[in-house]
Amino acid sequence: MKIVFMGSAEFGLPALGELLARHSVAAVVSAPAKPKGRGLKVVDTPIADYVKKGGVSAPLLTPDDVAAPQFIKELTAFDADLFVVVAFRILPKSVFSIPKFGTLNVHASLLPRYRGAAPIHRAIEAGEAETGVTVFRIDEGVDTGEIITQKRTPIGAQETTPELYKRLSDMGAAALLEAIDTLESGTAASVKQNNAEATPAPKLSKEEGRVDWRLPVEDVFNKMRAHIPFPGSYFFLNGKRVNIEWGVASGGGGTNPPPPPGTILIAENDYIDVQCGTGALRITKVKPEGKQTMDVHSFLLGHEVIEGTVLE
């Protein structure tokens, strides 16, 4: 099958690799290079970088405007049977309706659950025990199209966003190949989504990284593993920001009533226990402002941490 692939993030690399190996990729579309980091060096997307450095013969397009008439003209000229989108951007109907088989999207959730930009983060944050990938036909909504195939997988009790991201990117590639096979054989069965069961997965903001100690420890823990690497989970100690790189649920101080949320219960040896709304978070690894990640033992050697202090 002749395919145009559209994607920007690393999540799409396994899918692109499989398509290049098994199908005819007429072109690859990605976002333009952008300045990144403190030095504002202009950097290609992971997909564009892969095409440029991986010996991919298909042309690379990086349009500023996917609705521009000239871009649509270029896409039409490829005479592709199918467009495939993995972690790209919202497409207008003038684009996704071009090929005869339409446009498929690989989404990292069990739609209609977690529609939006951050389905992996939001599923972990909510304490979900299961997630998966969905291959669906793009329509004019956001992640609302008819489902071609879904694959399920459990979420590990301590699994983080980067770990689940990698597993789902590989699962998505396999599910995509299966969906394309059904299109080629004429056996594809489209299932409408139940909008009543839909939940959102909005993009994360920097402000969400600040720990709300009033929450139950289970929620604090889930947010911590969901927010790796962005926006992180952090608090302020003596006016300095400290990122929590890892921690686990602890029983708390055992007093009744418990101390206010955010109170440092224990700060000794290799952990710091902090009171949450219920239970406590046992912090074992941190990243102080302006420094490298370190274990709590090293942190305590260089910082004054007083039990009974209420963290900001």
Q: What CATH number does the domain containing 249 carry?
A: 3.10.25.10
Q: Do 109 and 252 reside in the same domain of the chain? A: no
pLDDT bin (cut points 50, 70, 90) of residue 36 is: confident
Write the DSSP string, 264-282: EEEEETTEEEEE-SBSEEE
Q: Which of 3, 56, 60, 55 is nearest to 29 (CA)?
A: 60
Going by C-alpha positions, the residue among 134, 151, 153 that lies closest to residue 143 is 134
The reply to whether omega before 257 is within 30° of 0 (cis) is yes
* Both tokens assigned to 306: 């007083």
Is 51 part of any domain?
Answer: yes
- pLDDT score for 253: 65
User: What is the number of structural domains in the chain?
Assistant: 2
Here the tokens at position 188 are: 């594809």
Assess whether 261 and 169 both reside in one domain.
no
Higher-pLDDT residue of 250, 133: 133
pLDDT tens digits, one per residue of 226-275: 999 999 999 999 999 999 999 999 977 677 788 999 999 999 989 999 99
Tens-digit pLDDT profile for residues 199-222: 999 999 999 999 999 999 999 999
Sign of CA dihedral 112, 216, 207, 284: negative
Same domain for 54 and 128? yes
Q: Cα separation of 27 and 61, whole Å?
A: 7
- Residue-wise pLDDT for 159-179, tens only, equals 999 999 999 999 999 999 999
Place of tokens 């599923």: 123
Is 188 found in the same domain as 54?
yes
pLDDT tens, position by position, 178-198? 999 999 999 999 999 999 999
114 and 244 part of one domain: no
Same domain, 157 and 227: no
Residue 223 pairs with which residues in a beta bridge? none
What pLDDT score does 41 carry? 87
Structure confidence at residue 246 (pLDDT): 98
pLDDT of residue 271: 97
Q: How far apart are CA 245 and CA 139, in angstroms?
A: 39
Concatenated DSSP letters for 134-170? EEEE--SSSS-SPEEEEEEEEPPTT--HHHHHHHHHH
Q: Judge if 176 and 284 occupy the same domain.
A: no
Is 153 within the bounds of a domain?
yes
Q: Which of 197, 229, 252 is the last residue of a domain?
A: 197
- Average of per-residue pLDDT across 129-143: 97
In a domain, 148, yes or no: yes
Would you tell me how many other CB atoms lie within 10 Å of the CB of residue 121? 26
Whether residues 178 and 294 fall in one domain: no
HSE (side-chain half, CA atoms, 13 Å) at 32: 6
- Tell me if 26 sits within 8 A of 19, measured CB to CB: no
Does the pLDDT value for residue 49 go beyond 90?
yes
User: Which of 171, 197, 223 is the last residue before a domain boundary?
Assistant: 197
pLDDT of residue 104: 98
What is the extent of the structural domain holding 262? 206-302
Q: Decide if pLDDT at 307 tops 70.
A: yes
Q: Say whether both 219 and 185 belong to one domain.
A: no
Instruction: Say if 307 falls within a structural domain.
Output: no
87 shares its domain with 218: no
- Asked if pLDDT for residue 46 goes beyond 90, the answer is yes
pLDDT of residue 251: 78
pLDDT tier at 285, thresholds 50, 70, 90: very high
Residue 274 resides in a domain: yes
Q: Give the CA-trace dihedral at 72, 73, 75, 79, to 10 degrees.
A: 140
Distances (CA, A) of 164 to 89, 200, 204: 21, 19, 17
- Give the separation between CA 106 and CA 124, rounded to whole angstroms: 19
Residue 70 forms part of a structural domain: yes
Reported for 91-98, long-range contacts at CB under 8 A and 24+ positions apart, including other chains, are: 91/6, 91/66, 91/138, 92/66, 92/67, 93/140, 94/67, 95/66, 95/67, 95/71, 96/138, 96/139, 98/72
Boundary-marking domain end, from 180, 197, 214: 197
Mean pLDDT of the chain: 96
Same domain? 135 vs 162: yes
Q: What is the CATH number of the domain that holds 170?
A: 3.40.50.170
Q: How far is CA 272 from each of CA 214, 298, 309, rounded to the nearest angstrom?
A: 17, 12, 12
Cis ω before 112 (30° cut-off from 0): yes
